[in-house]
Amino acid sequence: MSYKNTPAEKSTITRDTIRMEEKTGNIYQSLVAISKRANQISSEVKEELTQKLQEFASSTDNLEEIFENREQIEISKHYEKMPKPTAIATQELLEDKIYMRQPEEKQ
């Protein structure tokens, strides 16, 4: 999934906790859902970035190659400018894009 065009904010904003609580019925369950989804997003983005940077990996490093590799720097800057995984996960929760299962409680 591409997170490049997500409507999530790139900086910290104040959230309405009542809206988040309405999604699950409990603010703490909402936070757990956001946390778990943020971990999924983070690992997906990390894997994607690692694959892109593998193209630039070399077995020998010399000083000239480090300074000449502008493409690698641009890719890294692009990923740094993306919204944080928690912001993306919060936006997904508010837009009802997160599927949550509740385990059955044994009595």
The answer to whether 38 touches 89, Cβ cutoff 8 Å, is yes
**Model's pTM, two decimal places?**
0.79
Query: Tens digits of per-residue pLDDT, 12-54?
Result: 888 899 999 998 899 999 999 999 999 999 999 999 988 888 8
Report residue 26 as tokens.
Answer: 């409990």
Q: What are the two backbone dihedrals, phi and then psi, of residue 73, each rounded to the nearest 5 degrees?
A: -65, -40
* Residue 93: pLDDT over 80: yes
